[in-house]
C-alpha cells in the first residue's frame, strides 16, 4: 500500500497564509494601479468631463481602458435608444494617457515579484502558488469597480425624456481586467523573482 504524506498544520497554515497575503495584495495592487492612473490623467478627466462626471469615475474609466476594457455608453431619447463603446485612451493624443496601457501589467508584475520574494518562493511551482492568488483580490476590486463606476443622467424638455449612462463593460471587466491580467502578470512577476533567487 502506498504511503501518503499529509501536510503538517504548519505547512497548511503557511499555504493558507500565502493565499490570503496574495489575495490581499491583489486588492492593494488594484488600488495602487488606480492611484497611479489618477495622477496621470486627472487633469485630462477634469478637462474632458468637467462637472458632468465625478473625477474618480472618469479616472476609473481610463483605468478600465488600460486593461483593454471598453466603456459602454447608452442613451435614450423619447423611446429611441442606442448603445456604443468608448476607449478614452485610444481617443486621446496625450502621451500620459497612452502610457496607461503599461500601468496594470507593471504594477501586477511588481506585486507578484515582491510576494515571491517575501514568501521565499524559489521554484516555478511555489511562484505560481504565490502569484496566481493575487487574482482573487484583484478580481473583487475590478468587479465592484465596474458596477460602482457608472454615471447616468436624465433630462426632460417639452415632455420628451432623455437618459444616458456610461460604465465599464461588466463581463470584460471581470474576465479580462479581473482575472486574465493578474493571472498573467502577477504570476510572471512571481516566477521571475523566484527564478532569480533559485
Task: Show the low-confidence residues of the chain (pLDDT under 70).
Answer: 1-16, 78
Is residue 111 in some structural domain? yes
Between CA 33 and CA 35 the distance in angstroms is: 5
Is residue 2 in some structural domain? no
Domain encompassing residue 24: 13-68+96-147+171-197
Is residue 75 in some structural domain? no
Is residue 4 in some structural domain? no
Is residue 163 in some structural domain? no
**Opening angle at CA 51, ends 50 and 56, nearest 5:** 85
Between CA 128 and CA 161 the distance in angstroms is: 53
pLDDT at position 12 is: 37
N residues, the chain: 198
**How many Cβ atoms are within 10 Å of 62's Cβ, its own excluded?**
25
Contact 37, 66 (CB under 8 A): yes
Contact 108, 29 (CB under 8 A): yes
CB-neighbour burial class of residue 150 (10 A; exposed 0-12, middle 13-18, buried 19+): middle
Q: Give how many domains the chain has, as a whole number.
A: 1
Smallest Cα–Cα separation from 25: which of 151, 148, 116? 116
Is residue 162 in some structural domain? no
Is residue 127 in some structural domain? yes
pLDDT at position 10 is: 41
Amino acid at each position: 500500500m502506498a504511503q501518503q504524506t499529509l501536510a503538517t498544520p504548519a505547512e497548511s497554515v503557511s499555504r493558507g497564509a500565502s493565499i490570503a497575503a496574495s489575495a490581499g495584495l491583489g486588492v492593494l495592487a488594484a488600488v495602487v494601479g488606480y492611484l497611479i492612473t489618477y495622477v496621470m490623467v486627472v487633469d485630462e478627466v477634469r478637462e474632458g468631463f468637467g462637472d458632468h462626471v465625478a473625477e474618480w469615475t472618469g479616472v476609473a474609466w481610463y483605468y478600465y481602458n488600460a486593461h483593454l476594457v471598453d466603456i459602454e455608453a447608452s442613451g435614450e431619447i423619447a423611446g429611441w435608444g442606442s448603445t456604443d463603446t468608448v476607449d478614452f485612451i485610444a481617443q486621446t493624443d496625450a502621451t500620459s494617457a497612452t502610457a496607461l496601457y503599461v500601468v496594470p501589467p507593471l504594477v501586477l508584475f511588481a506585486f507578484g515579484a515582491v510576494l515571491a520574494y517575501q514568501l521565499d518562493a524559489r521554484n516555478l511551482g511555489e511562484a505560481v502558488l504565490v502569484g496566481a492568488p493575487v487574482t482573487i483580490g484583484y478580481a473583487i476590486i475590478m468587479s465592484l469597480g465596474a458596477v460602482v463606476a457608472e454615471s447616468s443622467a436624465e433630462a426632460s424638455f417639452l415632455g420628451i425624456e432623455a437618459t444616458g449612462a456610461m460604465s465599464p463593460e461588466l463581463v470584460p471587466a471581470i474576465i479580462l481586467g479581473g482575472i486574465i491580467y493578474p493571472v498573467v502578470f502577477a504570476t510572471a512577476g512571481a516566477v521571475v523573482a523566484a527564478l532569480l533567487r533559485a
